[in-house]
Structure 1
Amino acid sequence: MIEVEQRIETAPGTVFAVLADGWSYASWVVGASHIRKVDAGWPAVGTRIHHSIGPWPLQVEDVTVVRELEPSRLLVLEARMWPMGKATVRLELAPTQDGATVVAMSELVDAGPGKLLPGAVQAALLRPRNREALHRLADMAVGRARQP
């Protein structure tokens, strides 16, 4: 499992509000390029974001499904990108004493050809991507916190 962390200078509820906005998914998830549909009730367990991954014209259409949810604390996603595979992505939000949030993002490729890659190769590919995703999430959450 690959894990990265990011301190975000706003409360967990504000960070979670970005995660709970399914239409913002392609803005912070590196590689997601287009949101086609967000199921009503997102991010309830079992709801999906219908998205495209990759650059045009090589985009792959697939879905991300919520597998576990504890609002403002935990979001577990099953992210699919067939034919490459699927991964379980876990986002844990922890408040700090000074009002910020530490987000831990872990990813485990658990199906498809990507699972066959050695752990070091997966880490080399996923760690920088997930760090960038958390930087984008931080920018969006801090920007949202500044809105009146």
Structure 2
Amino acid sequence: MKNRHKRLALIAGGVAAFGIATALVLNAFQSNLVFFFTPTQVSAGEAPQERTFRVGGMVQTGSVQRQSDGLTVKFVVTDTAKMIPVSYTGILPDLFSEGKGVVAQGKLGADGLFRAEEVLAKHDENYMPSEAQHALDEAAKNTIATRP
């Protein structure tokens, strides 16, 4: 009878340890998960406030403003339907320029300004992050569909 209780205790302990390990892994995964949103989705309020996510599209031509500190840059990301103002402090990728594809990772402030912690630019004329390309394609479809 004692062997049976020992076995049950070992099985219960194993199941509990597995459950705790699973909970820790899922918690770590959730905290490192970063979602992608288009400027249209951000404008519609679908993006989380004060939580890290990515926004992507094209850098609006004429929107890049370099601040006097030499590191802070403000620009606008658009998907041709909506625009999101972005502020970034740091060194931009060499291929960052107006009219080119970009994905910025950061947080959206209550003031509507997206404060980027990281900026990614496309690496040649033919490449754009798949999320950004899909967002531009969808925005173009929606713009055409809503025109009279």
Q: Same fold per TM (> 0.5)?
A: no
TM-score where L is the length of structure 2: 0.29
Greater per-residue strand proportion: 1
Greater per-residue helix proportion: 2
TM-score where L is the length of structure 1: 0.29
Greater gyration radius: 2
Higher-RCO chain (CA-CA 8 Å, sequence separation at least 6): 1
